[in-house]
Structure 1
Amino acid sequence: MNKRYWGIIILSLIAILFSVYRTVSGQIGDSVRDAALIAAIYGESRAVPELVVLHQSEEYEKAEGKEALQQMGEEMAQKASMPVGEMKQIRGHWVYQTAKELKGGAQASLQIMHLSDLDNRTYVTWKVTHNRFALSEVEKLAEQMNQWVQTAGFVPQFNACIQGRISDRLNNGDWLVQPSSLLEKMLNKREAKVVESFQDDTALSISAYTPEIGKYIWTNQQKMNLQVAAHRDRRDGSLVVTIGTPIITVEY
């Protein structure tokens, strides 16, 4: 991936962390619906899924120092039936981390970061990843994640990404699938309005808004809650297809 793509990802992550994240109903169950929706949209691509990442994060209660942060983490982990974690320092910030393997091979993790010694703010991140799954499982994974989040008593920001590939190289060296046509088909199924796009010699990324997803972020003074991308793998020529809401947060 070139430096420009990394810049797009970094800016997108900043947008998730710091933009006002709107919601229609404000219910934590919206994330389950949204996860199921992007799985359905992804199914239109006919790509074989290889990775799903579900991510929920939010600023949380204050913790005065390392010991308070560790106690907060252990209490949250216990409520979610996760093992006792460990404390680490990452870029000068204390972080509590724990993880476990779920039935079926998915990996679940909890991280609580101490953001500032000045006001003792913390930031909680729940994450589920799976690389051996069917699209029909995405909704169930989101439901399981929500059960943990509800134990913490807050409504976090939700992000979901799915990635896979299409092996469409023909014997004569041409490709069967055109990335632009494929991504447009995925978006048109949900009447998504294109907000912006980026394209180079090997990749195409489209950001859009659909009213079917309740939450959105702002970009260039427009609503955005869906992103699709496709690029050619230079190793085997397969088409890697990625979808995310409200943005893609995995490498593409």
Structure 2
Amino acid sequence: MEAVTLRLVRRTKTPVIGLLLLALCGAVAVAWSSDAWKPAPSAAPDSSEVAKRMQMLWVLAELSGERKFSSTITVQGSFLAEEGLAAEVDRWRREAGILSALELRQERGREVYRGTYNTAPYQGDVLLFQENDGRIYYTVTLSAEAKGGMARTAEEAERLLRQLGEAKMGSDWNATVRTATGASLTDGFAAAEKALAEWGTAVPLDRYEDDRTISVTYETDYMGAGVAMKGRQANLQVAAHEDRERGETRLSFGTPLIAGEY
């Protein structure tokens, strides 16, 4: 894949410092109990769509946080099984171009296949299982701890989306960049909101708040396609969570929504 160059245009003169809640560990529980996680088949993204949006998330994180930068991209989808689970898992692995073997396990009374492939500087965690509707559901979680790793996960996500799309194993994706700051919960979230405003319009659509967490979902004019919410398109979620034991506030920036925990 060619290197992606993204020209970011801010709306302020402040210099740049460097932006379905679905965790892999919770994917099984969600799918067991609900029809909510059944993404419609989607075409593969433009060759640089994932990379551009990941870069934007990273920029927002750099403007808001101070340390512990990391990124996660989740590629997820489902397809109708034509043969048994084992055969379909092998077929999916071939189509996805993943060479690592997947291990059969029993979880929550179901057979699931899990595996990991490590390709410096990122890691891929794979999960497949079959639901009662006869479909095979899968997630591939790509995790990295540095900006270079983030760029590589974007390339891998685009590759998976392209190959699985061509194989008609309908897939979708979401992504999250995380950082931490020594600021308080309110000050940390205020810094994140300021970063959002510097790049364009961000209309809040939904807000959750308690004594340790603030989470707001937005429709922005710079984060691309989103998911339907309250008659608009949510394409960015920002969350701040105060970790009092560690004396820091974790900030998460996700598109279209945050993948995993805050």
TM-score between the two structures when normalised by the length of structure 2: 0.74
User: What is residue 100 of structure 1 aligned with on the other side?
Assistant: 117
Q: Does 1:27 align with 2:46?
A: yes
Counterpart for residue 153 of structure 2: 141
| C-alpha distance in structure 2 between counterparts of 1:28 and 1:91, whole Å | 38
Q: Distance in 1 between matches of 2:36 and 2:46?
A: 18
Kindly indicate whether the alpha-carbon contact (under 8 Å) linking 1:20 and 1:217 is maintained by their aligned counterparts in 2. Answer: no
Change (3 A) 1:166 1:201: same
Distance 1:214 1:34 in 2: 8
1:110 aligned to which of 126, 137, 143: 126
Distance 1:41 1:122 in 2: 35
- Measure the CA separation in 2 of the matches of 1:71 and 1:199: 44
Whole-angstrom CA distance in 2 between matches of 1:202 and 1:67: 44
Structure 1 residues 160-219: Cα deviation after superposition (integer angstroms, max 9, x where no partner): 112221124xxxxxx597134213212212321111212222221111011322221122
Query: Is contact 1:15-1:217 (8 Å) kept?
Result: no
What is residue 244 of structure 1 aligned with on the other side?
Answer: 254
In the alignment, is the contact (CA less than 8 A) between 2:181 and 2:188 conserved in 1?
A: no
What are the ranges of 5 or more consecutive residues in structure 2 without an aligned counterpart?
A: 1-20
Q: Which runs of 5+ in 1 are unaligned?
A: 169-174
Partner of 1:53: 72
Give the drift of 1:241. 0.9
Q: Measure the CA separation in 1 of the matches of 2:49 and 2:129.
A: 25
Residue 68, structure 1, aligned to residue 87, structure 2: yes
Which residue does the alignment assign to 2:210?
200
Q: Which amino acid in the other structure matches residue 155 of structure 2?
A: E
Aligned residue among 116, 140, 144 for 1:126? 140
> For residue 232 of structure 1, what is the amino acid of its counterpart?
E
After TM superposition, which residue ranges in structure 1, 4 or more long, deviate above 6 angstroms? Answer: 12-16, 19-23
Residue 178 of structure 1: aligned partner: 187
The answer (yes or no) to whether the contact 1:45–1:186 under 8 Å persists in 2 is: yes
Aligned to 1:171: none
**Closer/same/farther in 2, CA of residues 209 and 15 from structure 1, 3 Å limit:** farther
Question: Which residue of the other structure, out of 225, 233, 249, is the alignment partner of 2:243?
Answer: 233
* SS of equivalent residue, structure 2 residue 157: helix
**Fraction of identical pairs, as percent:** 20
Work out the CA distance in 1 between the residues paired with 2:194 and 2:55: 18
Query: Is the 2:217–2:237 contact (alpha carbons within 8 Å) kept by the matching residues of 1?
Result: yes
Asked if structure 2 preserves the Cα contact closer than 8 Å seen for 1:38 and 1:243, the reply is: yes
* SS of equivalent residue, structure 1 residue 44: helix
- Count of residues in Structure 1 that have an aligned counterpart in Structure 2: 231
Aligned mates of 1:189, 1:60 — CA distance in 2: 41
Report the Cα offset of residue 231 of structure 1: 2.2
- How far apart, CA to CA, are the structure 2 residues paired with 1:247 and 1:218? 11
Instruction: For 1:17, give the aligned amino acid.
Output: W
Counterpart of 2:187, as a letter, is Q
Partner residue of 2:18?
A: none
Relative to 1, partners in 2 of residues 1:93 and 1:73: Cα closer, same or farther, differing over 3 Å? Answer: farther
Question: Partners in 1 of 2:205 and 2:40 — Cα distance?
Answer: 18
Cα deviation, residue 22, structure 1:
8.4
